[in-house]
């Protein structure tokens, strides 16, 4: 979506993190089973994926935009730069209110001005103290 909607001169970098080394190994391969064709529009499948023995694989230029790193959200955030977008979808539901609040504060501190936080549909910032501006369900702006 970013390559479709941003000017070519915008240098897109994506940091994909997880605590699970198994999930990271799968993500770094960029390979998806055959059934992905039922979930991804044919246009995107043709343009950004290539067929593989397993099903489909993300094309190199898109895969090159992504850095995969192991990271525990409970650790100190070591990021030197801020993020224009943070996707933390369906993660905070596994934590109690105190940890959720701590994560919101950490996310806010590393979100660029005007940057966006995306949560899962089962998550919200209701009953939490935060400085994000509500945009629409699951989307908040710094």
Based on the fold, state whether residues 61 and 112 are members of the same structural domain.
no
Based on the fold, state whether residues 99 and 67 are members of the same structural domain.
no
Based on the fold, state whether residues 67 and 116 are members of the same structural domain.
no
Check residue 54 and give its pLDDT. 86
Q: What is the mean pLDDT of the chain?
A: 95
CATH, residue 109: 3.40.50.150
When pLDDT is cut at 50, 70 and 90, the band that residue 134 belongs to is very high
Based on the fold, state whether residues 139 and 101 are members of the same structural domain.
yes
Domain of residue 89 covers 72-142
Based on the fold, state whether residues 79 and 67 are members of the same structural domain.
no
Check residue 84 and give its pLDDT. 97
Q: What percent of the chain has pLDDT over 90?
A: 94
* Rounded CA Rg of the chain: 17
Q: Of the residues 56, 71, 86, which one is the last residue of a structural domain?
A: 71
- Residues 82-93 have pLDDT tens digits of 999 999 999 999
In a domain, 46, yes or no: yes
Nearest one of 21, 58, 67 to 36, comparing CA atoms = 58
Q: What is the pTM of this model?
A: 0.89
Nearest one of 118, 72, 116, 78 to 95, comparing CA atoms = 72
Q: What is the mean pLDDT of residues 97-123?
A: 97
In a domain, 62, yes or no: yes
- Residues 19-74 have pLDDT tens digits of 999 999 999 999 999 999 999 999 999 999 999 998 999 999 999 999 999 999 99
CA distance 57 to 34: 10
Based on the fold, state whether residues 53 and 79 are members of the same structural domain.
no
């Amino acid at each position: 979506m970013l390559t479709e909607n941003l000017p070519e001169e915008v240098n897109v970098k994506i940091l994909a993190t997880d605590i699970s080394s198994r999930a990271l190994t799968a993500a770094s391969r960029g390979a998806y089973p055959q059934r992905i064709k039922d979930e991804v529009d044919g246009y995107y499948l043709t343009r950004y994926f290539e067929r593989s023995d397993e099903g489909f694989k993300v094309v190199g230029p898109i895969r090159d935009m992504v850095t995969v790193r192991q990271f525990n959200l409970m650790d100190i955030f070591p990021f030197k730069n801020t993020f224009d977008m943070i996707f933390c979808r369906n993660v905070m539901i596994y934590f109690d209110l105190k940890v959720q609040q701590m994560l919101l504060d950490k996310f806010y501190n590393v979100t660029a001005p005007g940057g966006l936080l995306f949560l899962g549909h089962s998550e919200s910032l209701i009953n939490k103290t935060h400085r994000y501006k509500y945009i629409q369900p699951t989307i908040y702006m710094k």
